[in-house]
Amino acid sequence: MRIPDDKIDEVRTAADIIDVISAYLPLKRRGRNYLALCPFHDEKTPSFSVSPDKQIFHCFGCGKGGNVFTFLMEHDKLSFIEAITALADRYGITLPRYEKEPDTRTERMLYANQVAADFYHSILKREAYRDKIEAYLYTRRGLKPETVERFQIGLAPDEWHALLDFARKKDLTPKELEEAGLALKSDKTGEYYDRFRLRLMFPIYNMVGRIVAFGGRALSKGETAKYMNSPETPIYSKSHILYGLHASKGAIREAEAVILVEGYFDFLSLFQAGIENVAAVSGTAFTPQQARLLARFARKAYLFFDADSAGQNAALRSVEYFFDCGIEPMIVTPPPTHDPDSLVRQFGGTEVLKQISQGVPYLAFRFDRVDMSALSMPEKERVVREIKALAGKIEDPLRRDIFVASAAEILRLPVGAVTPGEPQQKAPTLLPDRVRNIQIIESELLSLFVNRPQLIELVWDDIAPDDLNGPGHRGIYTAMIGAYRESGRIDPDRLIEHLTGDVEKSGLALIATIDWGDLDLTGVVKEYKRMLLNQKRQVHLADIKQKLAAAEKRGDHDQAEKLMREIKYLLEKRL
């Protein structure tokens, strides 16, 4: 049973796309639309456009586009139902109880991960592993049973087909486990086997609390990889997820600050000690997408990494992303030989809070003890280059200026000395100055229907969907005709849900960005209709000419004469 259409419409109406996306990205008004750096690909010049009038987004760089539901599905790796549910919760809309549809690929992957989590969690209680787990998890690591239960920590047994056998009883195929990153297929035998074996398993949750992946810590000596994570799948992108954030986001929002740690045990120890405004990177390099995710909840980020040089270097490598998102990075240095986990276990949560309170702003941490007057000229140049390089990576001009002013004050240098050159702008991609091709005419004609839906009545009797050849245009035009016949409206944010292909969805989002203002568009539609009908006749004419050549070649004079009359008719009828 699906969520009723009227409830989907209610959520869509309540969830203003600017309100939703601005919680993820800093949007800047540009005319009637808003611009930002695209969250779906790396870029220096903003090409991600959001239309408040049409309630859609489109990136001119990578081509992604859609409505408010599409954005959440792409950004947070949610299913359609999860996106609606998340927005309904945010805007206080009560949804009726419904049965989830496990037949979609996304839902099957989510189901497979939940089945795996249940299985791994049950293995913890097996007699064969109980003593070893209690010694490691509860005694050595100091975790409490309720923490293990809450985060559904489990154990992958030392067997090759244990999960596969269990999953078969839950109506999951080996192929589905492979797609979810839980099984592998042997190149030699073609047989499937479990990806994780004899590893402590940490389920990784998305923002709405669904399990999308796992992190596995080796328990046996001699393993080449101490930690092994699930591979990326359609529901899991490691650059977009932070471990534990699903459970800690409320505390982070309340504190307006996040404590960022490196590993699963760092997170679990702090959270268990009552320090809940914490999230973990979990073995991957920190990314701009993760910084933007935290910017929804926090104004400060305490980078609480290991005391060793590798931990501190990891903290310093991530600061540019925080500055660019408007988050102030604070550097916390644990006592020598300690990490957040060991600090909690040895001294308790009070000591951790003390360390956090002694966190130092990045610029002060990096340069406060630098005496420029005592440095040689090459050393001064290195310091200035470092500051300018970091400042040059901060995209937002205001935040870049604030950073430069702070650095200049700390180093007692003129602001101009540490101001980077203007970031290089990409040259705009311009259409060649020639007659626009027929696909552009199709795009603009379809965009006219978005701006003035009633104009579609001037066209649909003469131009069929099969007459269009642009990418996704046939499906878009078909959906437009259906929507207008049903409701007299063509709303891009509603229409996009009826399109099945990514090409069609991004095509509609692009088409909807064309703004025709208050022009009288009737004449424009008629002209485009004339051009498309001429194109249709040209295609038909070329086909007939081929048939004529074939008829003449085989000496079929009657057929050739008939085709000649048809060609004459088409040429006379040409508009």
Instruction: Tell me if residue 531 falls in helix, strand or coil.
Output: helix
Per-residue pLDDT for 343 more than 80?
A: yes
Looking at the structure, tell me whether residues 202 and 265 fall in a common domain: no
Span 104-156, pLDDT tens digits: 788 899 999 999 999 999 999 898 888 888 899 999 999 999 999 999 999 99
Q: Given 366, 384, 401, which residue is the final one in a domain?
A: 366
Start-to-end C-alpha separation, the chain: 52
Query: By residue range, what is the domain housing residue 10?
Result: 5-90
Query: What is the reported pLDDT for 430?
Result: 32
Question: For the chain, what is the mean pLDDT?
Answer: 85
**Residue 17 resides in a domain:** yes
**Residue 575 resides in a domain:** no
Looking at the structure, tell me whether residues 65 and 139 fall in a common domain: no
Here the CATH number for the domain that contains residue 70 is 3.90.580.10
CA distances from 180 to 207, 347, 353 (A): 18, 40, 39
How many residues are present in the chain? Answer: 575
**Residue 425 resides in a domain:** no
Matching residue, tokens 């919760």: 89
The tally of domains found in the chain comes to: 5
Residue 264: pLDDT band by 50, 70, 90 thresholds? very high
Looking at the structure, tell me whether residues 252 and 354 fall in a common domain: yes
Looking at the structure, tell me whether residues 185 and 254 fall in a common domain: no
**Residue 98 resides in a domain:** no
Instruction: Tell me if residue 215 falls in helix, strand or coil.
Output: strand
Looking at the structure, tell me whether residues 192 and 297 fall in a common domain: no
Looking at the structure, tell me whether residues 115 and 222 fall in a common domain: yes
Here the CATH number for the domain that contains residue 322 is 3.40.1360.10
Here the CATH number for the domain that contains residue 132 is 3.90.980.10
Query: What is the reported pLDDT for 1?
Result: 45
Looking at the structure, tell me whether residues 442 and 562 fall in a common domain: yes
Instruction: Tell me if residue 193 falls in helix, strand or coil.
Output: strand
Q: Given 209, 236, 263, which residue is the final one in a domain?
A: 236
Looking at the structure, tell me whether residues 449 and 545 fall in a common domain: yes
**Residue 536 resides in a domain:** yes
Most confident by average pLDDT, 182-191, 423-432, 437-446: 182-191
Looking at the structure, tell me whether residues 258 and 229 fall in a common domain: no
Looking at the structure, tell me whether residues 561 and 454 fall in a common domain: yes
Here the CATH number for the domain that contains residue 551 is 1.10.860.10
Looking at the structure, tell me whether residues 113 and 182 fall in a common domain: yes
pTM equals 0.68
Nearest to 212 by CA among 174, 184, 242: 242
Q: Higher-confidence residue: 76 or 368?
A: 76
